[in-house]
Amino acid sequence: MRTAVAVLAALAALSNDASAGTFVLRSSTTGAIAAPVVAPPEEPTTPDSPAGFSLSIIGQASVAAGAVLDLRPVVSGASGSVSYSYSGKLPLGGTFDASTGRIAGRALIAGSYQVRISATDSKGASVMTRIVIVVA
């Protein structure tokens, strides 16, 4: 019986993806594994953004496989120059330009790609938007 519990515990530990925020709870008295608890990842914190500082993305976010991507940020209310960053996964063939915030290239593989784009102005204020790029 203990061997079966140990094997199940090892399999459960191997199948958990810690980067996705999965926690495994074990009883301190029996060692039995309880149901996993999934905690959503925390949103990044940024300095307070001034009123009117906004970011949106223009361009076609739904394209056929092999088609050209051309998504551009539109920023308003920023103080000084703006730099861009992204997190998430771009389609294979997609590129991101940190100086302009533009997503370009050719989307080569079908799928749904969630991307967060952040704009930070020269005073450190930051805004973020999310887009889903769908390649069919």
Cα dist from 129 to 6, 104, 118, whole Å: 45, 17, 7
**pLDDT at 7 (0 to 100):** 45
Q: What tens digit of pLDDT does each residue of 93-131 get?
A: 999 999 999 999 999 999 999 999 999 998 888 999 999
Distance CA 45, CA 40 (A): 15
pLDDT of residue 79: 85
Whether residue 23 has pLDDT greater than 50: no
Give the Cα separation of 46 and 7 in Å (integer).
44
> Residue 4: helix, strand or coil by DSSP?
helix
Write out pLDDT tens, residues 43-102.
544 455 566 788 989 888 899 999 999 999 999 888 889 999 999 999 999 999 999 999
Q: Which one has a higher pLDDT value, 14 or 96?
A: 96
Sign of CA dihedral 59, 62, 66, 67: negative
Q: Residue 71, SS3?
A: strand
3-state secondary structure of 29: coil
What's the rounded Cα separation, in Å, for the pair 119 and 117? 7
Answering whether pTM is above 0.85, one says: no
Walk me through the domains of the chain, giving residue ranges and CATH numbers.
Answer: 2-38 (no CATH), 54-135 (2.60.40.10)
Q: What is the mean pLDDT of residues 2-27?
A: 49
Please give the helix or strand (H or E) that residue 15 lies within, else none.
Answer: helix 2-15
